[in-house]
């Protein structure tokens, strides 16, 4: 029988995960949503974020988790001590526990009820960094790094300074704005961007390059022959969705040669050297004036221009069908109203830069500053929440 609740302490969770990896009961950190049986060999049952609809239960075999952890440690330069700051109810947090178990090193974790703060992270990291020569690893989401940078800018640098002492900081859960990565690098933080999902045992593409054994392809290509839906294969794939054979069959496919693939909901392109550039979710594409615009490149550029994390969404418009609107959480917008329009000169600069580099249809019609972007799950921006913020603001403007 699976362990159907989260153990009460990090030590108990670590013991439960160790047992699950050795053919013990599967760890199920959230209440079950189905009554489907859990197959032997399953170590974790994790729930998807629900960003594409109803959340599903993903069955992750022990072999997939072992392959993922081994490839991660190989890419990072060897096993080390892991620090858990993410919820152990999602795959990113649970993978920190798995890596710690398989590395045979102590696991340090924030209290489950602790709110993430820069000083809190500094206090959590300090004894681990001072404990010995083992490399120290931590997984974060972009919002957390944004807060660390903002705190340092406001005269509270302890958290960022501690992060810079870590051997590697895995950054995933959402797209990492280039401006954020640049500022982190300038602060001496070794960021490794990760791409993956529950169905791939978490991150399986690091800094655009697949981990050992992981395969990446983009299909079917668009008319340019470059952009398509990202599919991932290799030893880290989940067994499927519990109690949903139809969804499993649609998402997990097997080629004639026996290779198995997971079809993501993301658009991407492969560079000549095989590195992957993720362009955002296929269903996030905004149709404005009959032109399809992928938000991800616009978000990256707007974030770079304004120094923050941007979300670009389509808002209904009588003339254009939808217009692009950008909401940006910048280091400067740490308080104040939920969203506020940027100055006209800033809007003009953003629109001109985006039109020049990405084409006129990609230029946002309106740009707002925000203290923070609404989130759905650990680090994932809630696009529907952003649309709701914009519509609410504009209805009362």
Q: What is the pLDDT of residues 351-387, one digit of tens each?
A: 999 999 998 999 999 999 988 888 876 667 888 889 9
Q: At 331, is the pLDDT very low, low, confident or very high (cuts 50, 70, 90)? A: low
Q: What is the pLDDT of residues 98-119, one digit of tens each?
A: 999 999 999 999 887 788 999 9
Which tops the pLDDT comparison, 173 or 397? 173
pLDDT value for 376: 77
The per-residue b/e assignment along 173-212, b for 16 or more CB within 10 angstroms, e otherwise, is bbbbbebbbebbeebebebbbbbbbbbbbbbbbbebebbe
Q: What is the CATH number of domain 1-281?
A: 3.40.50.12780
pLDDT at 3 over 60: no
Q: Which two tokens stand for residue 56?
A: 């599903």
pLDDT value for 107: 94
Highest mean pLDDT among 41-55, 163-177, 188-202: 188-202
Q: At 332, is the pLDDT very low, low, confident or very high (cuts 50, 70, 90)? A: low
Chain mean pLDDT for the chain: 89
Instruction: Specify which residues 59 forms β-bridges with.
Output: 45, 240
pLDDT value for 5: 59
pLDDT value for 52: 53
- Domain extent listing, the chain: 1-281, 285-396
Q: How far apart are the first and last CA of the chain?
A: 55
Helix (H, G, I), strand (E, B) or coil at 53: coil
pLDDT value for 133: 84
Asked if 1-281 and 285-396 have one fold, the answer is no
pLDDT value for 336: 47
Q: At 46, is the pLDDT very low, low, confident or very high (cuts 50, 70, 90)? A: very high
How far apart are the C-alpha atoms of 79 and 71, rounded to whole Å?
10
Residue in 211, 138, 146 with CA at minimum distance from that of residue 175: 146
Q: What is the pLDDT of residues 222-242, one digit of tens each?
A: 555 678 899 999 999 999 999
CB 58 within 8 A of CB 199: yes
Highest mean pLDDT among 210-219, 263-272, 337-346, 376-385: 210-219
pLDDT value for 80: 96
pLDDT at 97 over 90: yes
pLDDT value for 53: 58
Architecture of the domain whose range is 285-396: 2-Layer Sandwich (3.30)
How many other C-beta atoms are found inside a 10 Å radius of the C-beta of residue 270?
18
pLDDT at 257 over 50: yes
pLDDT at 195 over 60: yes
């Amino acid at each position: 029988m699976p362990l159907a609740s989260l153990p009460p302490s990090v030590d108990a969770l670590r013991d439960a995960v160790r047992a699950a990896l050795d053919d013990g009961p599967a760890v199920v950190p959230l209440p079950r949503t189905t009554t489907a049986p859990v197959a032997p060999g399953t170590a974790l049952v994790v729930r998807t974020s629900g960003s594409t609809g109803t959340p599903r239960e993903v069955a992750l075999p022990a072999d997939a988790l072992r392959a993922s952890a081994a490839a991660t440690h190989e890419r990072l330069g060897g096993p080390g001590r892991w620090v858990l700051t993410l919820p152990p109810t999602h795959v990113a947090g649970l993978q920190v526990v798995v890596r710690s178990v398989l590395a045979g090193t102590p696991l340090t974790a924030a209290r489950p009820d602790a709110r993430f703060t820069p000083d809190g992270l500094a206090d959590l990291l300090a004894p681990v960094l001072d404990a010995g020569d083992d490399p120290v690893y931590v997984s974060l989401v972009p919002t957390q790094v944004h807060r660390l940078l903002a705190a340092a800018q406001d005269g509270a640098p302890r958290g960022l300074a501690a992060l810079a002492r870590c051997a590697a900081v895995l950054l995933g859960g959402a797209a990492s704005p280039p401006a954020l990565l640049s500022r982190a690098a300038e602060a001496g933080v070794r960021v490794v961007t990760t791409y993956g999902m529950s169905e791939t045992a978490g991150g399986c593409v690091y800094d655009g390059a697949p981990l050992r054994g992981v395969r990446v392809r983009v299909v079917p290509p668009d008319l340019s022959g470059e952009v398509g839906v990202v599919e991932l294969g290799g030893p880290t794939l989940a067994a499927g969705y519990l109690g949903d054979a139809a969804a499993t069959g649609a998402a997990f496919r097997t080629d004639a040669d026996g290779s198995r693939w997971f079809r993501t909901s993301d658009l991407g392109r492969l560079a000549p050297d095989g590195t992957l550039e993720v362009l955002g979710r296929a269903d996030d594409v905004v149709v404005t004036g009959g032109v399809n615009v992928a938000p991800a490149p616009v978000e990256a550029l707007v974030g770079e221009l304004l120094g923050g994390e941007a979300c670009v969404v389509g808002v209904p418009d009588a003339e254009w069908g939808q217009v692009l609107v950008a909401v940006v959480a910048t280091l400067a917008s740490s308080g104040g109203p939920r969203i506020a329009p940027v100055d006209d000169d800033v809007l003009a600069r953003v629109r001109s830069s985006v039109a020049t580099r990405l084409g006129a249809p990609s230029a946002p019609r309106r740009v707002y500053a925000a203290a923070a972007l609404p989130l759905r799950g650990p680090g994932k921006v809630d696009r529907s929440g952003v649309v709701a913020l914009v519509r609410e603001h504009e209805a009362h403007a």
